[in-house]
Amino acid sequence: MIASGPHRRDELRAFLAATVGKHANQFDLDQRIPRSVIAQLAEAGILGAQVPRQFGGTEYDAFDFGHVCELVGYASGSVLSLLTVHSIVASTIVRWGSASQKERWLPPLASGASLSAFALSEADVGSDARNVGTRIRREGDTFVVNGTKKWISCGQIADLFLIVGNCDGRVIGLIVEADNPGLSIAPISDMLGFKAAMLAEITLDECVVAQDQLLGSVDFGYAQVVGSVLDHGRFSIAWGCVGLAQACIDASLNYTETRQTFGQYLKDHQLVQKMIADMVTNTQAARLLCEDAARKRAAGDHGGIMATTMAKYFAARNAETVAAEAVQLHGANGCSNDYPLARHYRDAKIMSIIEGSAQMQQILIAQHSYGR
C-alpha cells in the first residue's frame, strides 16, 4: 500500500483508523500494541517503508514516508514510535550496512518477521550521546558488551537491537539479537505518554557479539550510526507530530460544532474561533516545514538535515500546544478516556523529549545559524 496520491492516502487513512486509531486508547490502557495489529501493519508494507524493494520492502520516498508517519501519528503516538524505531534501524542498515548485513537483516525487517529497536539512552545519559557508559571491548574476532540501556521503545518485543556503546574511546553501533544469552530485557511500564510503546531496560552482561555485527566503522561510528539514526528519527517524529496535531484539530472541530454553551455552539464563540485559527495555521506551518525537509531529502540536499531539525523542533512544540488547546476545548471530556485528547496530550509531551529534545534542537539550529 503506497501513500502516493490522494486516493491511496485516503485508503491508508481509513486502514489506520480501523486497525489503530479506533483502538488506540485501549492499547494505552493495556500498555501494548497487539501482535495482530503489528502483523497488519507489516502486511500493508508499512514496516518495510524504508527497505529497498530488492530486499522485500516498500521503499517509500521521503514524501511518502513522511505522509505515512503523519497518518500513523494521527492514529497513535505509540504506533508511531514502533514505526520510528523499526525504520531507524532498517534505514541505518541500508545506509551503512555491508552487502551481507543487508542480505541477512533487511528481508525479515521488511516483512515484519523481525522487529527492531534502537538502544542509546542509559540511566545517566540521554542528550549527551557521546558519553554513553556502555563499554565494548574487542576480544579475538568478537566484541564484548557491558552496560544497561534504558527507555528503549519496543524493547519488550524487538528481535534485534542497534546498541550504541563506547569502544576504546569511540562510539560505535552493534546489531545484537534479543536471544543473545548475554542480553536481558526488563519491561518499563506506566510512562506519561507512549503508553503502548512497550519500553524496556536492556542489560548487556559480557554479551559476546560477532565482529560482522558492527554497523559502519569503528572510527566513524558516531557520525554514521548515531547521526543517521537521529536524523531519520527526527524526520519521522516531525511528521508524526503534524498527524497528532491534525487529529486534535479534527476532534476539536467536531466537538465545537455539536457542543453548546450559553445558547450557542462552541464554534460560534469568537474566543473558540481564535483557538481553532491558531491551531490550524500553526499546524499547516509545521506541515510545510516537514514538506521542505522531505523535498531537500529527496533532492539529496545537505540542507535536509537542518530542515529536518527545524521541522522536528517546530512540529513537536506545536503538537504540545495544539493538544493542550484541544483538551481545553473538550473540557472535562478532554480529560477522560472517552475521547482521544488526553492520550494525544500525553504523547505530545514525549515528542519534545525524544529524538533530540527541544533544547538540543534549539542548540543545533542556533549553532548552524551562527556558522552560516
Toward ligand FAD, which CB reaches closer, 85 or 245? 85
Of residues 80 and 117, the one with the C-beta less far from ligand FAD: 117
For residue 6, give every residue at least 6 positions away whose Cβ sits within 8 Å of its Cβ, in sequence order, or none.
none
Residue with smaller CB distance to ligand FAD, 108 or 126: 126
Can you tell me the distance from the alpha carbon of 251 to that of 240, in angstroms, rounded to the nearest whole number? 17
In whole angstroms, what is the distance from residue 229 CA to residue 84 CA? Answer: 10
Number of residues that bind ligand FAD (CB under 6 A): 22
What are the two backbone dihedrals, phi and then psi, of residue 32, each rounded to the nearest 5 degrees? -160, 155
| Residue 156 interacting with ligand FAD (CB under 6 A) | no
CB of 50 or CB of 252, closer to ligand FAD: 50
Q: Taking CB under 6 A as the criterion, which residues in 179-208 touch ligand FAD?
A: 191, 194, 197, 199
The three cell numbers of residue 110 are 521488511
Known active-site residue 355: yes
Our CB check for ligand FAD shows the closer of 294 and 353 to be 353
- Cα–Cα distance between 45 and 54 in angstroms, integer? 14
Residue 56 has which C-alpha cell?
Answer: 522485500
**Binder of ligand FAD out of 127, 211, 258, 336 (CB under 6 A):** 127
Asked if 213 is part of the footprint of ligand FAD (rule: CB under 6 A), the reply reads no
152 binds ligand FAD (CB under 6 A): yes
| CB contact set of 311 (below 8 Å; sequence gap of 6+) | 234, 235, 238, 239, 286, 289, 290, 292, 293
Residue 341 CB contacts under 8 Å (≥ 6 apart), including other chains: 248, 251, 323, 326, 327, 330, 333, 334, 335
C-beta separation of 72 from 243 below 8 A = yes
Centre a 10 Å sphere on the Cβ of residue 274 and count the other Cβ atoms it contains: 10
DSSP state string for 15-76: HHHHHTGGGHHHHHHHTS--HHHHHHHHHTTSTTTTS-GGGT-----HHHHHHHHHHHHHH-
Task: Name the closest residue to ligand FAD (Cβ).
Answer: 126
User: In terms of CB distance, is 209 or 249 closer to ligand FAD?
Assistant: 209
| Interaction between residue 293 and ligand FAD (CB under 6 A) | no
User: Which 323-352 residues touch ligand FAD, going by CB under 6 A?
Assistant: 350
The verdict on 357 binding ligand FAD (CB under 6 A) reads yes
Nearest distance, CB of residue 155 and ligand FAD, angstroms = 7
* Residue 126 lies near ligand FAD (rule: CB under 6 A): yes
Among the listed ranges 51-59, 146-154, 255-263, 316-324, the one in contact with ligand FAD (CB under 6 A) is 146-154
Site for ligand FAD in 74-93 (CB under 6 A): 85
Residues serving a catalytic function are 355
Positions that interact with ligand FAD (CB under 6 A)? 85, 117-121, 126-128, 151-153, 191, 194, 197, 199, 350, 353-354, 357, 359-360
